[in-house]
Structure formats: structure tokens, C-alpha cells
Structure 1
Amino acid sequence: MVHEEQLSQAVTELRVLTGQLMRRMRAAHEWAALTLSQAAVLHRLATEGPDTPAALARAERVRPQSMGATLGALEQQGLVDRRPHPTDGRQVVMAATENGLALLAEIRTAKENWLLQAVRSHLDPEEQRTLIDSVALLRRLVES
């Protein structure tokens, strides 16, 4: 039986370690020079498709002015472009460009390569098996 104090400490440590892991993976792609906001918006456009600046601001829970600055920076880098709205001529939609999609793929590869190398070099085969088994548990938590 797990003691409540042990579980509470493990949850706290998991939260801290998750944050540290995310920072280490971000460091693997510092060359990309994207802010967290820019990366989040580019990822959203790549996975969910083109959207209006207003809808993106709502989805990312930021002010429209902040979204405008984020989109402007991404557009200046050639990672997104603006297109006519399909049904409302007064609006535009923003979409990830081929360069934006390629950059996201490079970032994803850099993160996964760093993590794979860290696992291979710091965990023995039994620990690697434990990590593999833990992924299913973490997925269940995320999907709960």
C-alpha cells in the first residue's frame, strides 16, 4: 500500500521533473529562436489548420494585440502567411507555411534525438524497459 505522503511527494517531484525535462528539450532547439508563444501558435496552425487571429487569440488565451504581435513575428520569419477568409471577405486566416512545417519537424527531431540519446546513455536496459512501461501510465494520466 502506498502512503499518502509518499504519493504526494512523488507527484511534487514529477511536476518539477516534467518542467525540467521540458526546459532541457527546449534547449535542444534553441537555434530555432522561437518564443514559447510563437511555437505554440505555429504548432496549433500546423495541427489544426488555418484560423483567424481572433480565434487563435481565444484558443491561446491571450489578448488579440498579443496574438497580432506573435503572428507578425512568425509572418516576418516566413513561418506563417495570411490568406483570404473562405467565407468572410473582411477577415483573414493565418496558416503555417511549408517553412513553418519544416521548422516544426526539425524541432521535433532535435527534441526526440536529445531525449533518445539521454535515455541510451544514462539508463541501463532494465531502466529503459521501466521507462517504456511508464509511458503507458503517463498517457493514462494525460488522457484522464
Structure 2
Amino acid sequence: MADVPVEEYLCTRIRRAEQALIGHHEAVLRGYGLTMPQYTVLLALSREEAMSGAQLARACGVTQQSMASVLTGLQNKGLLDRRPSPVHAKVLIATLTDAGHDILDRAYQEVIVLERALTDRFTPAEHRQFCDLLDRATATLVEQTPERGGRTQ
């Protein structure tokens, strides 16, 4: 690997792709007054209908503390409601408001344009192969990630 420039490393290429993707989404979402974590929460709630903060944190890959501030921001904007769970009174369940559904629908229509553009860039066979390769790369990244306090083999 010493002879290969860092720009050619797979991890560098994955990071550049991730940065481009996030940059695109952030630019689109900024027009709706949303951050990427807020959009991700709205999207998750549109699919699950009602979720706790802990469930949303796991679904969005953030800590519960981070999720609490995201949920507060969305609630302050009137995009979601939180009510006590019928099962656990101390747990708040988040649901989208009509305004939340509306802003998500409008933002999604712009975000999905990139998905279509990426899909159109490849033939159907290339698209399937690219997805398979990305899935394999993701699996390797997960496998190689040390456990908290542990070591990789």
C-alpha cells in the first residue's frame, strides 16, 4: 500500500462519496430549515409512525442525548408531537404532525432527485453490482470496527 497514493485508497474514496452525499442533502434540506439528523428522524417516523427517542437514536445511529435535542428542535418547529407511552409513562413517543408530513414530503421530492440521478448513471446490471459491492464494503467496515473496549482479531 505504501506505493499507492492516499487518494486511491478505498476508504478515501468512500469518505469522498459520503461527503458529497451529505453535502448534497444538507444543501437541499437547508432550504426547508432542516438538518440531516432532523430529516432522518422525520423519515424514520414516516415509516414507523410512532417511536421512542431510544428507538429513533438506534435507527439514526446517534446517542440518546443527541436524539433528545433533535426531537426538541423538531417539536419546537411543530413537526412532531411527543406523548407519554401507554406502556411506560416516563417514555415519550414521537409522531409526525401534519406539518411534519408536509415538510418531509416536500424535502423528499428534492432529495430523491439525487437517487434517480445516481441510478440513471448506471445500467441495471451495473447498479445491482454497485449495490452488492457497497454492501460488501459496508459489511467489512462493520466487521473491522473494534467493539467498545475490545480489540479486532
Alpha carbons of structure 1 residues 114 and 36: separation in structure 2 relative to 1, 3 Å: closer
Distance in 2 between the 1:99 and 1:16 partners? 34
Question: Higher helix fraction: Structure 1 or Structure 2?
Answer: 1
Alpha carbons of structure 1 residues 112 and 10: separation in structure 2 relative to 1, 3 Å: farther
| TM-score, normalised relative to structure 2 | 0.64
Alpha carbons of structure 1 residues 53 and 24: separation in structure 2 relative to 1, 3 Å: closer
The runs of 4+ residues in structure 1 deviating greater than 6 Å are none
Question: Which residue of structure 2 aligns with residue 123 of structure 1?
Answer: none
Matched, 1:110 2:101: no
Identical counterparts, % of pairs: 24
What number of residue pairs does the alignment pair up?
A: 129
Question: Which residue of structure 2 aligns with residue 131 of structure 1?
Answer: 122
Question: Which residue of structure 1 aligns with residue 63 of structure 2?
Answer: 62
Q: Which has the higher contact order (CA 8 A, sep 6+)?
A: 1
Question: Which residue of structure 1 aligns with residue 141 of structure 2?
Answer: none
Give ranges in structure 1 of 5+ residues lacking alignment: 120-127
Q: Which amino acid aligns with 1:81?
A: D
- Deviation at residue 18 of structure 1 after TM alignment: 4.1
Matched, 1:141 2:140: no
| TM-score, normalised relative to structure 1 | 0.67
Give the CA RMSD over aligned residues: 3.1
